[in-house]
Amino acid sequence: MKTKTFCTYETAWCPGCGNFTILECLKIALEQLGKNPSEVLIAAGIGQAAKTPQYINANAFCGLHGRSLPAAVAAKIANERLTVIVDTGDGDSYGEGGNHFIHNIRRNVDITHFVHDNQIYGLTKGQASPTSMIGLKTGVQIDGNFNEPLNPVLLAIACGAGFVARAFTGHKEHLIALMKQAIKYKGYALVDILQPCVSFNKTNTFTWYNRRVYELDESYNHKNKIDAMQKAMEFGDRIPIGLLYREDKVTFHQKNAILNQGTPLLDRKTDLNYMNQLIKSYT
Amino acid sequence: MYNLLIGGAAGQGIDTTVSILEKLLKCSGYNVFTTRDFMSRVRGGHNFSLIRFGIKSIYSHSNRLDGIVALDEETIQLHKEQLEDSGFILCDTKLSGLDSRLIRIQMDAMAKGLGNPQVSGSIAVGAVLKLFGESLDNVRTVLQIFIKQQYLDVNVKAVEEGYASTETHFSHLNGMYCDQMLISGSKAVAIGAICAGLRFYSAYPMSPSTVIMETLASKADEAGIVVEQAEDEIAAINMALGASYGGARAMTGTSGGGFSLMVEALGLSGMAEIPLVVIDVQRPGPVTGLPTRTEQSDLKFVISASQGEFPRMVIALRNAYDAFYQTMRAFNLAEKYQIPVILLSDQYLGDTTFTVNPFNPEKIQMISPKLEYTENTEYLRYQYSENGISPRLVPGKTKQLVAVDSDEHDERGWITESAEIRTKMMDKRMKKLEGLKQELQEPTFIGTNDFETLLIGWGSTWGPIKEAVNLLNGDNNPHYAALVFGDVYPLPLKQFKEKAAKAYRIIDIEQNATGQLADLIREETGILCENRILKYDGRQISGEEIVEQIRKGTVK
């Protein structure tokens, strides 16, 4: 599948990297949703995955390592008409940006967060990421990683996120469908996308994931938080992918007394009469 | 001019009592200058405020007192030495002591009699008004600002009872400046930001900067701004950058510790060319330091904070009037040059209330990013230009795409490692400094053109230095002048060089341990300023202290 609207560019990724699939699916999802490039903002921090905004025909905010969430939510606060997507890696999202991850779930600004989760640091050439499994050997974790891996989807559900999904680059149509749902969801939506790192993660390979993942079917009720947490914890011989949890929640824009009045923040003006009145209140 | 100290423990309501009293004095037409000295605790300890008021302009606090309102014994013990023989100590009858200057009234008993022990502060207010020969004219109007409706009557009654409880001690002065504003430095910054069209403020609470966030939050609904408390200062500045990129005029504020966390993102503002205003309300460091006290020790830090090289502007605020206009100017400079502009304030300036002429927001014409694109060529966010400034568009407002990048990038905003582009982009960004230098405001000159001694300082010491120069030149042989810098980076040096050439000696006055401004001046001009009056005990130097140090001859 090729998309026109969001174009195709040369990348700096390794051949066979899961990033290609995620990028392609993102472009298709945006195109199928009928988005115009000028209304879409792709934000990222630093990392191999975080180069995504460079390879898509849309507005781009390539910020600091770990800090794309605060910048992205504020861009959405500034202009609610933008479709804001944070598309970046597991290190950027859960490691360097862990604090922002937790607190932006609480804010529930209407943005979408796609995390390229390959359980390894790519750009810095192969060190443990927050999601690396116990035992994974790297140039730094020479005896194997012995820290407990973070479970991002479980954490997100526990923190109160209203849209939490897990996907795998080996299931493209499934990923596109989830991306579209996540973008359409009113509030903070997380899709943790499992992908292989062909250069540095020799454990969690395409085959490793492919043998384990299975798509959640219609019998699964994504509205039940306890079930969702149980499913989120399933990460071993079998790994469920799909929408784990969904709940309609009041968004930041709906809660904020300024933003819920319908005028995008950037279009507001401060009235001169008001300024003079304000100054007078100090006399 | 009178100088009144109100002291007690944290939690005794000093803040409200002082706010009411200073407003009443302002409404009587006086110039008012109130400093706040408080400890980093919620209950207990010793806190005090100094209210200086009179008909003449007031630039500094003074440690010589005409009156003390003591809400506890400790206040008397700590401050009675500062009290003039003609002064008074107003306190409750339960406090002991033999000082002939004591005026005891039944503050607590009267409050109890009124059925509300919390109105003792209002009783003190009434007594103070009487002691200074003031009337009760504005009492109800002023109390309404600070006291909830249901407690208004009892507090008015309390002021009246306090008033009746004592006799006039000092002769009445005739105030004539009723139209002035009474505002603190931090509140002037907040109002300046609103008048500049601020739309988004994100910050993490940190003394002494929190007043700015609280002031903005209290006006957010009426002013149409979003104030967001961030999870940390890193989020605060990155949010401000995201909002600014998104087209909302944005600002963040903190003190030195929070600024330390913001440093990397300061560079993002410089590299990605996103307009940003950051205020650092300084307190003594390093690290936690003295959280509620004052210092000017972040100058060298903020002018060089963040890795790499990029243009920035640093403006130190000198008083509340300056705070308002410089805040507005900071937004314009940030927008015009697409750079970070850092405002330097400190606890002294931030928490001190000043009477000033009403601000006029129309004095500064605000500039905004373009909301349409009329060129026939493809839009390039980082287009090379003569002055280094590229056209800034807001994403989503036109068909053009806006890409910003923390990596070195080409004109379009895409990553590059090209040596040629790198050099051109660095040159483009650094070229903005040349434009900025044309915008610089020379330091304020104070005193006589006939000077022998030139005092130099920056920011909040403006007031104390001005008072010192006035005092030193008070005899018939004026020899003193001063230059107080507002713009500190880039450093405007034209006037300094002229004056320094004429000066017999230069004395640097700063609230830090090393003399950071003097060092910068030497770096830029080679002029060494050996004489330094440096104070770093967390308390602001007063005009009188400067005079004393100069007269003592401890400085050459």
Q: What is the pLDDT of residues B370-403, one digit of tens each?
A: 888 998 899 999 999 999 999 999 999 999 999 9
Q: Which of residues 124-143 of A touch B (CB under 8 A)?
A: none
Residue A244 corresponds to which amino acid?
Answer: L
Nearest to A64 among B202, B264, B415 (CB): B264
Q: In this predicted structure, what is the pLDDT of residue B40? A: 86
Q: Does B199 touch chain A (CB under 8 A)?
A: yes
Q: What is the pLDDT of residues A230-270, one digit of tens each?
A: 999 999 999 999 999 999 999 999 999 999 999 999 999 99
In 3D, which of B273, B278, B242 has the Cα closest to residue B392? Answer: B273
Q: In this predicted structure, what is the pLDDT of residue B414? A: 94
Query: Which of A197-206, B96-105, B218-227 is least confident?
Result: B96-105
Q: What is the mean pLDDT of residues B336-362?
A: 98
Rounded to the nearest angstrom, the minimum Cα separation between B195 and chain A is: 6
How many residues are listed for chain A in this entry? 283
Fold of the CATH domain B2-164: Pyruvate-ferredoxin Oxidoreductase; domain 3 (3.40.920)
Q: In this predicted structure, what is the pLDDT of residue A9? A: 84
Q: In this predicted structure, what is the pLDDT of residue B11? A: 85
In 3D, which of A61, A58, A75, A65 has the Cα closest to residue A110? Answer: A75
Contact A41 B243 (CB under 8 A): no
Sign, CA dihedral B541-B543-B547-B548, equals negative
Which residues of chain B are in CATH 3.40.920.10 domains? Answer: 2-164
Contact B242 A78 (CB under 8 A): yes
Q: In this predicted structure, what is the pLDDT of residue B556? A: 54
Q: Which of A9, A270, A272 to mutate to test the interface with B (most CBs of B within 10 A)?
A: A270
Q: H or E segment at B507?
A: strand B505-510
Q: Which of residues 57-116 of A touch B (CB under 8 A)?
A: 57-64, 67, 70-79, 81-82, 99-100, 102-103
Q: In this predicted structure, what is the pLDDT of residue B97? A: 78
Fold of the CATH domain B444-552: Rossmann fold (3.40.50)
Name the residue in chain A with its Cα closest to that of B225.
A258
Rounded to the nearest angstrom, the minimum Cα separation between A277 and chain B is: 11
What tokens were used for B314?
A: 């640093």
Q: Does B415 touch chain A (CB under 8 A)?
A: yes
Tokens 């040369």 belong to A10
Q: In this predicted structure, what is the pLDDT of residue A111? A: 98
B191 contacts on A by Cβ (under 8 Å): 278-279, 282
Q: Tell me the pairing of strands A163-168 and A189-194.
A: parallel
Residue B210 corresponds to which amino acid?
Answer: T
Q: How confident is the model at residue B472 (pLDDT cuts 50, 70, 90)?
A: very high
Contact present, B400 and B429 (Cβ < 8 Å): no
The CATH number for B182-363, chosen from 3.40.50.720, 3.40.640.10, 3.40.50.2300, 3.40.50.970, is: 3.40.50.970
Tokens 């006290």 belong to B293
Q: Which of residues 191-250 of A touch B (CB under 8 A)?
A: none
Q: How confident is the model at residue B369 (pLDDT cuts 50, 70, 90)?
A: confident
C-alpha distances out from residue B228 to A100, B102, B126, B483, Å: 14, 48, 40, 38
Which residues of chain B are in CATH 3.40.50.970 domains? Answer: 182-363
Q: Does B148 touch chain A (CB under 8 A)?
A: no
Q: How confident is the model at residue A1 (pLDDT cuts 50, 70, 90)?
A: low
Percentage above 70 pLDDT, chain A: 99
Rounded to the nearest angstrom, the minimum Cα separation between B401 and chain A is: 5
Contact present, B7 and B79 (Cβ < 8 Å): yes
Q: In this predicted structure, what is the pLDDT of residue B244? A: 98
Distance between CA B352 and CA B37 in Å, rounded?
Answer: 10
Q: In this predicted structure, what is the pLDDT of residue B554? A: 67
Distance between CA B247 and CA B200 in Å, rounded?
Answer: 10
Sign, CA dihedral B301-B304-B308-B314, equals positive
Q: Which of residues 29-58 of B touch A (CB under 8 A)?
A: none
Distance between CA B548 and CA A114 in Å, rounded?
Answer: 65
A73 contacts on B by Cβ (under 8 Å): 239, 242
Complex-level ipTM? 0.98
Contact A270 B224 (CB under 8 A): yes
Query: Which of A117-126, B367-376, B531-540 is least confident?
Result: B367-376
Q: What is the pLDDT of residues B41-65, one digit of tens each?
A: 888 899 999 999 999 999 999 999 9
A259 contacts on B by Cβ (under 8 Å): 226
Q: Does B224 touch chain A (CB under 8 A)?
A: yes
Percentage above 70 pLDDT, chain B: 99
Distance between CA B6 and CA B69 in Å, rounded?
Answer: 5
Query: Which of A15-24, B8-17, B418-427 is least confident?
Result: B8-17
* pTM of the shown model: 0.97
Is B363 a residue whose pLDDT tops 90? yes
How many residues are listed for chain B in this entry? 556
Q: What DSSP string runs through chain A?
A: ---STT------PPTT-HHHHHHHHHHHHHHHTT--GGGEEEEE-SSSGGGGGGGSSSEEEE--TT-HHHHHHHHHHH-TTSEEEEEEEHIIIIIITHHHHHHHHHHT-S-EEEEEE-SSBTTTTSB--TTPPTT---SSSTT---SPPP-HHHHHHHHT-SEEEEEETT-HHHHHHHHHHHHHSSS-EEEEEE---TTT-SSS-HHHHHHHEEE--TTS-TT-HHHHHHHHH--SS-EEEEEEEE-----HHHHSTTGGGSS-GGG----HHHHHHHHHTT-
Contact present, A201 and A129 (Cβ < 8 Å): no
Task: Report the mean per-residue pLDDT for chain B.
Answer: 96
Q: How confident is the model at residue B555 (pLDDT cuts 50, 70, 90)?
A: low
Q: Does B394 touch chain A (CB under 8 A)?
A: yes
Percentage above 90 pLDDT, chain A: 96
Q: Which of residues 16-55 of A touch B (CB under 8 A)?
A: 37-39, 41, 43, 46, 51, 53-54
Nearest to B265 among A64, A274, A278 (CB): A64
Q: How confident is the model at residue B102 (pLDDT cuts 50, 70, 90)?
A: very high
What tokens were used for B353?
A: 């209330």
Residue B465 corresponds to which amino acid?
Answer: I
B415 contacts on A by Cβ (under 8 Å): 12, 51, 54, 62
CATH architecture of A18-280: 3-Layer(aba) Sandwich (3.40)
Contact A257 B224 (CB under 8 A): no
Q: Which residue has the higher pLDDT, A262 or A66?
A: A66
How many residue pairs bridge chain A and chain B with CB atoms within 8 Å of each other?
193
Distance between CA A85 and CA A73 in Å, rounded?
Answer: 9
Distance between CA B283 and CA B83 in Å, rounded?
Answer: 28
Residues with Cβ within 8 Å of B312's Cβ and at least 6 positions away in sequence, in order, are B266, B270, B303, B339, B340, B341, B342, B489
N-terminal to C-terminal alpha carbon distance within chain B: 32
Contact A282 B191 (CB under 8 A): yes
Distance between CA A94 and CA A148 in Å, rounded?
Answer: 13
Q: In this predicted structure, what is the pLDDT of residue A2? A: 58
Q: In this predicted structure, what is the pLDDT of residue B477? A: 76
Q: What is the pLDDT of residues B109-159, one digit of tens each?
A: 999 999 999 999 999 999 999 999 999 999 999 999 999 999 999 999 999
Q: What DSSP string runs through B10-51?
A: ETS-HHHHHHHHHHHHHHTT-EEEEEEE--S-SSEEEEEEEE
Q: Which residues pair with B184 in a beta bridge?
A: B353
Q: In this predicted structure, what is the pLDDT of residue B43? A: 86
What tokens were used for A184?
A: 């359409």
Q: H or E segment at B485?
A: strand B480-485
Q: What are phi and psi of B457, to 5 degrees?
A: -165, -175
Which residues of chain B are in CATH 3.40.50.920 domains? Answer: 444-552
Contact present, B295 and B164 (Cβ < 8 Å): no
Contact B394 A77 (CB under 8 A): no
Contact present, B83 and B65 (Cβ < 8 Å): yes
Nearest to B226 among A72, A77, A275 (CB): A77
Is A30 a residue whose pLDDT tops 90? yes
CB atoms within 10 A of CB B19: 17
B187 contacts on A by Cβ (under 8 Å): 282
Contact A74 B243 (CB under 8 A): yes
Residue B302 burial (C-beta neighbours within 10 Å; 0-12, 13-18, 19+): buried
